[in-house]
Structure 1
Amino acid sequence: MAPSTTPPLQTVDRALQVLQSFSETRTSWGVSELATAFDLNTSTSQRLLASLASRGFLIADPQTRRYSLGPAMWRMATLWERTGGLARLAEPVLADLAATTDRTATFTTPDGMHVRCIAAVDGAAGPVRSHPLVGDLYPAHTGATSRAYFAFLDPLERRNMFAGRPFARYTELTEVDEAVIEQRFDETYRDGWAYSEGEYDQRTRAIAAPVLLGTRPVGSISLVEPKRVVSDDDVRDHVSALLEAAQALADRLVSRRPARPPASRAS
């Protein structure tokens, strides 16, 4: 069925624009401030914010009279995550990448000092392991899949996470020296992607890239292949496709369509 071309209801669309306007740098709105930003009069702005607060999507600070995100947003986000919403969003991007490259494509998200695979699509070469990849944890200090996420965290935040921790050695190629691990993070940040071969699993090699919302990583997307498979191309030949897929997934995560405030002042 073709998508509907019916324009959105103005009041509903405006409320959704307000919710989407919150960010790490925009954590609250005042009535007059919102009115100016969205070209509304103050009474419309007040009713809009109060309506969202009445349903728990916003909360009002009685002292400052500013509105910030409320518990209904947390409930909706938790429900979406628990029902596999993020994995479903990633799977079409992974399927295209796997079909283009003939490799297994995965998407991982942070889980403490690891990243966890939440979606995977096998390429033409078949699965890289005898068990499903979804649910697997990858340690922060080794392998391209983890490095592509942790390299893009704020360096101070990352060093505080890593400081003084012992690092397990999984194969003879696993690096456990903290200074060298940091150097590899810096290289990955400069390059924009990571490569590993046998660091975590001696049977596989991978390339990976961060999925970024602005400058903040939310996960990593990877191409993985068994080392025993002989191909006409090298997995690193597909870096461009990998980076395009990472951007495509980031666009899906933010519903990349500019929200336009109303053109004329509401009455």
Structure 2
Amino acid sequence: MATEKTSDNVRAVDRALDILMAFTATDYELTAGQLLKRVDLSRPTLYRLLYTLEQSGFLVSSGEPQKFRLGPAVAHLSHVWTSSLDLNEMAKPMLRRLWEKTGETVALFIPQGAYRSCISELPCTQPLSFKRGVGYRERIVLGASGRAILAYLDITPELLKEYAAGTKLDLKKYAEDLQSTRERGYAISNQEIIQGAVSIAAPFFNSGGQVAGSVGIFGPSARLDASQVKEYGELLIVETKLLSEALGLRGK
């Protein structure tokens, strides 16, 4: 009897979690009828679990017909989880795999307004290499690691012009480069900041789907030809997708 009761409790928890996971960023309000189409539950069981979740603050409801959305208890858990995140630690496995597969310098960047900063770096061990170091700060409009971020920011032409002030960037061509970055999934720069250096970078995203930074691979043009750039770009897409998922992104 005790085993059966425990099993019933576990099933109830699983079903309650299924209900919570039915909500998305675009479908943040759902009726009971809509929830029935997303979870494999009978109507009485669904209503019983909805009542329990609402009583404990995981759901709130309003309107006619009644619509449910995630409640303050979920926000509390989200705050606790976000506070515990250490981006450097979360990114370590992805950076390490890229470093081992490419043998080139690999770095993690986050946006800071008109700039982007390096917060983690695994330097290349070969004699001919390029590395900037943790703490390195550069204008976000320059280089692949900045362009990989900008391509996914909701930025106005006016703000882009402000970011590019004092550079020799052709903003029309730059906008085309951002579009190419979105189509490929990664940005490329060739001798843009350092003579002889090639960089490839891809963005990663937070749980809300906003771009949170980029991961870049840096090496000399003597080693990084077009086929190598394509191969490394595809590796970046795989690893930044994993990093985005680790940060809570679903379905991008």
Q: What letter matches 1:145 in structure 2?
A: S
Q: 1:178 aligns to what? A: 171
> What's the CA shift for 1:85?
3.9
Q: Using the alignment, how far apart are the partners of 1:18 and 1:115 within structure 2? A: 39
SS of equivalent residue, structure 2 residue 96: helix
Report the more deviating stretch, 17-26 or 195-204: 195-204
Q: Using the alignment, how far apart are the partners of 1:55 and 1:203 within structure 2? A: 60
Closer/same/farther in 2, CA of residues 242 and 17 from structure 1, 3 Å limit: farther
Q: Using the alignment, how far apart are the partners of 1:234 and 1:212 within structure 2? A: 26
Q: Using the alignment, how far apart are the partners of 2:217 and 2:150 within structure 1? A: 17
Q: Does 1:158 pair with 2:159?
A: no
Closer/same/farther in 2, CA of residues 195 and 245 from structure 1, 3 Å limit: closer
Q: Using the alignment, how far apart are the partners of 2:55 and 2:168 within structure 1? A: 53
SS of equivalent residue, structure 1 residue 185: helix
Q: 2:11 aligns to what? A: 10
Number of corresponding residues: 236
Closer/same/farther in 2, CA of residues 152 and 45 from structure 1, 3 Å limit: same
Give me the identity figure in percent. 25
Q: Using the alignment, how far apart are the partners of 2:80 and 2:225 within structure 1? A: 36
After superposition, give the CA deviation of every residue in 1:200-249 in whole Å (9 maximum; x if it has no partner): 56695411123368996453221124x6xx86x21751532442343244
> What's the CA shift for 1:158?
2.7
Q: 1:128 aligns to what? A: 131
Q: 1:240 aligns to what? A: 231
Closer/same/farther in 2, CA of residues 217 and 164 from structure 1, 3 Å limit: closer
Q: 2:46 aligns to what? A: 45
Q: Which of 184, 203, 207 is the aligned partner of 2:200?
A: 207
SS of equivalent residue, structure 1 residue 11: helix
Q: Assess if the C-alpha contact under 8 Å between 1:211 and 1:247 holds in 2.
A: no
Q: Using the alignment, how far apart are the partners of 2:74 and 2:118 within structure 1? A: 25
> What's the CA shift for 1:52?
3.4
Report the more deviating stretch, 204-213 or 188-197: 204-213
Q: What letter matches 1:222 in structure 2?
A: G
Closer/same/farther in 2, CA of residues 17 and 187 from structure 1, 3 Å limit: same
Closer/same/farther in 2, CA of residues 163 and 219 from structure 1, 3 Å limit: closer
Q: 2:90 aligns to what? A: 89
Q: 2:181 aligns to what? A: 188
Q: Using the alignment, how far apart are the partners of 1:23 and 1:147 within structure 2? A: 29
Q: 1:261 aligns to what? A: none
Closer/same/farther in 2, CA of residues 15 and 139 from structure 1, 3 Å limit: farther
**Structure 2: unaligned runs, 5 residues or longer:** 1-8
> What's the CA shift for 1:195?
1.7
Q: 1:219 aligns to what? A: 213
- Compare the two structures and name the one with the higher helix fraction: 2
> What's the CA shift for 1:48?
2.7
After superposition, give the CA deviation of every residue in 1:76-114 in whole Å (9 maximum; x if it has no partner): 334434433443332101101011111222333444444
C-alpha RMSD over aligned residues: 3.7
Q: What letter matches 2:241 in structure 1?
A: A
Q: Which of 160, 164, 167 is the aligned partner of 2:164?
A: 167
Q: What letter matches 2:234 in structure 1?
A: L
Higher relative contact order (CA 8 A, sep 6+): 1
**Structure 1: unaligned runs, 5 residues or longer:** 1-7, 259-267
